[in-house]
Structure 1
């Protein structure tokens, strides 16, 4: 697998040391990141990803990120090789003391890319843990990702590659690296941002492009989607899909070990998404919901 690394203004060797031992991104997970699909040498929906990167940093109280530096780094990495499929931007608060208190920076900015193959299907399981929708990190794409790592380990031990979880109210929230879509009652609904889920880039585009194509799709009302809706999915009464930058719109192939069928609306949404994405690789940002 080809892996490219940019840090400190330069392209680096994959195994070259680039982060100081006292960097708060390393010691306490004080940073933000974005994972982006690469299509024909371009970062898909880059403007939306950069806006969310800035939002996450602001929510964490980090100083403003130099967007031009990030854009230049992305351009250098994508211009250095062909066949790349995935790009990641990571920004930490930089060097800090041996405590939770943040230092004075500057930011550590690292951009990496590789040619990993696409994820062709999703097998998910429900996990016993819950997302805290009142956490200061709720809805933030933070490098403090240990909770998700634990849940993914749980999923993989059960033959799955994604974990779905509720929030503290028992409402369906999200996956560890994805948002969730549910097809039921002749429409597609997705947990609202108030559930504590991440404001996913692909989630937002699916809502916009789906609605523009005449597909009945919306963000659910608060509390509308109980975690028990997944029981309907297992019984074949409803259908489910996940959305992410590495999956786009991907119907669940299995849930808790039960093979699943794909709903007709989710199939149409997937088709619409592919068509729209081919026409616009960097759709302008809109208001999230």
Structure 2
């Protein structure tokens, strides 16, 4: 895989040491990040991603990064990456710090990386045995503390899936390890509310904005409207499941827990709409 890496103002090779061994992003996962799709050499919805990066940084207690500096770094990386770039990742850590949880004031590390991206038309998902804690101090923040997601995704892969879907501690449907979830039932496409503890996904946000304008019934569910048991309806064929993320856009799930399920017609229509809108506007 071809990687283009920029760390604090300089390009580095993938096998070249570039971060301190005591960078807080390494020792305790103290950082935030964003991943955006790249279309024609430009990051899709970059402004929205940078606003969320700033929200995550503030929520973690990190100094909000300078918007112009990040945009300049993104531009440099995409120019060097050229036509191969399909995604770009922006990572901000608390920089060099002690081995414990405390931070060094004023220290930060900024990393921008680009790589190709290939996405399947459909997804094979599994229900995770673990839950998302909607009352966590970092609920809804896109942090580099991703160990829970790594474990859940590895479990999904061992069971033949490419994504794991999680409940929260109250038994409500929440999200995937790297995606938001949409359930199609009763002629509507519903996604869990942010109160469930799920991330405020950029693709989720755009789907909720764009779909009603196109006459598609896509909305955020009420607080108690989507239980994790809704996935039983998907297995029974009474509902359908989709996953959204910055790389997936909206991806129908056609296998759940090893059982083949149908892609929903509204999910497919929303996917087509999203692709068309994405092609029309690179920074909506």
TM-score range, shorter chain: over 0.9
Question: Which residue of the partner structure matches residue 206 of structure 2?
Answer: 205
Question: Which residue of the partner structure matches residue 182 of structure 1?
Answer: 183
Superposed displacement of residue 121, structure 1: 2.4
Question: Which residue of the partner structure matches residue 167 of structure 2?
Answer: 166
Structure 1 ranges of 4+ moved more than 4 A: none
Q: Does 1:217 align with 2:218?
A: yes
Q: Matched residues in 2 for 1:172 and 1:190: separation?
A: 9
Please give the per-residue CA displacement for 1:111-163, whole angstroms capped at 9, x wherever unaligned: 00111322332110001111000001100000000000000010000010100
Q: Matched residues in 1 for 2:106 and 2:160: separation?
A: 42
Superposed displacement of residue 104, structure 1: 1.5
Contact 1:122 1:250 survives alignment (8 Å): yes
| Uncovered stretches (5+) of structure 2, i.e. residues with no partner | none
Corresponding residue SS for 1:241: strand
Please give the per-residue CA displacement for 1:60-94, whole angstroms capped at 9, x wherever unaligned: 11112112111111000100122210111010011
Corresponding residue SS for 1:141: coil
Q: Does 1:261 align with 2:272?
A: no
Q: Matched residues in 2 for 1:14 and 1:119: separation?
A: 26
Query: Which sits farther off after the overlay, 184-193 or 102-111?
Result: 102-111
Question: Which residue of the partner structure matches residue 32 of structure 1?
Answer: 32
Please give the per-residue CA displacement for 1:200-255, whole angstroms capped at 9, x wherever unaligned: 00000011111110111110010110100000001110011000011100010210
Q: Matched residues in 1 for 2:159 and 2:279: separation?
A: 35
Q: Matched residues in 2 for 1:215 and 1:10: separation?
A: 45
User: How does 1:1-289 map onto structure 2 within 5 Å?
Assistant: 1-80=1-80, 81-283=82-284
Q: Matched residues in 2 for 1:128 and 1:226: separation?
A: 15
Contact 1:36 1:49 survives alignment (8 Å): yes
Q: CA RMSD in A?
A: 0.9
Superposed displacement of residue 184, structure 1: 0.5
Contact 1:95 1:104 survives alignment (8 Å): no
Calculate the TM-score normalised by the size of structure 1.
0.96
Contact 1:40 1:83 survives alignment (8 Å): no
Corresponding residue SS for 2:200: coil
Distance 1:116 1:271, change over 3 A: closer
Query: Which sits farther off after the overlay, 60-69 or 225-234?
Result: 60-69
Corresponding residue SS for 1:152: helix
| Uncovered stretches (5+) of structure 1, i.e. residues with no partner | 284-289
Corresponding residue SS for 1:68: helix
Count of aligned positions:
283
Calculate the TM-score normalised by the size of structure 2.
0.98
Q: Matched residues in 2 for 1:116 and 1:268: separation?
A: 23
Q: Matched residues in 1 for 2:84 and 2:141: separation?
A: 30
Contact 2:121 2:252 survives alignment (8 Å): no
